[in-house]
Structure 1
């Protein structure tokens, strides 16, 4: 239900526009499927947090089933869903969460406050000009995933 209440982007043009037009705020883009159970859990957290972070962040969902946004799924190597990517003033902001991939958050957050803490850390770092920030969450609250490399 919460996914219906958050802005859902289905075309490359919509994604390009929101990245370009979101100024002085963190842009949170959740890439995933509206039918996936983990995506629904994350969407619920994003929806419940949206008002609390509205002064410094904007949240939108990107439907990766849409053929038009495949350029982003390939560019950000979105193979595990949900994947959440952060931007600030059209710059991709990375986060060191102790995983091998700093370009995105893979999986859901354990709690609403975890998500808020991450977005606040990204906002503070971005305001200081940083393009990579440290994750404020303890390692046990960061979802674990295994990166698989083909042809190695």
Structure 2
């Protein structure tokens, strides 16, 4: 389904969409089109894009593209898919009860969950907030245990 969403593979494209998306939430999905979880998320994003069109825009970022590595490093994207939110070129954060408020890691369970998250970010941004609380119940928020081993 990702054919319905813009695919970004250069820093210039990412910079441009962040700068030019005004008064709507920009949703950037970092991942790989070959990853099954990314494909599941892309399907939800594509099916939701019309529903959120008044207050949100979705774009896919190919995290393997050489030119976008500056963003991959900046947002510390190690698990995919990772979804980052912006409003009027400001990075929007969301407290979902996890250690990382800078991005959503994993897919959404339902289309409505994604719509609710984007709407919550939009409402918070309109009130001048840079961090909002996740509107989803804890059981629908993906949890990841990060295991560290000797390198």
User: 1:33 & 1:124 partners in 2: Cα distance?
Assistant: 30
Deviation at residue 147 of structure 1 after TM alignment = 3.2
Shift of 1:133: 0.1
Task: Confirm whether residue 63 of structure 1 aligns to residue 78 of structure 2.
Answer: no
* CA distance in 1 between partners of 2:117 and 2:148 (Å): 28
Q: Measure the CA separation in 1 of the matches of 2:2 and 2:35.
A: 11
Structure 2 length-normalised TM: 0.97
Task: Tell me the C-alpha RMSD between the 2 structures.
Answer: 1.1
Unpaired segments of 5 or more residues in structure 1?
none
Once the two structures are superposed, residues 4-24 of structure 1 have per-residue CA deviations (whole angstroms, 9 ceiling, x without a partner) of 221000000000000000000
Superposed, 1:107-118 pairs within 5 Å as 107-118=106-117
**1:83 aligns to 2:82 (yes or no):** yes
Runs of 4+ in 1 over 2 A off after TM superposition: 147-151
SS in 1 for 2:3: helix
What per-residue deviation string (whole Å, max 9, x for no partner) do you get for residues 55-85 of structure 1?
0000000001100000000000000000000
Indicate if the aligned counterparts of 1:100 and 1:147 stay in contact, CA closer than 8 A: no
Aligned length: 150
CA distance in 2 between partners of 1:100 and 1:26 (Å)? 22
| Structure 1 length-normalised TM | 0.96
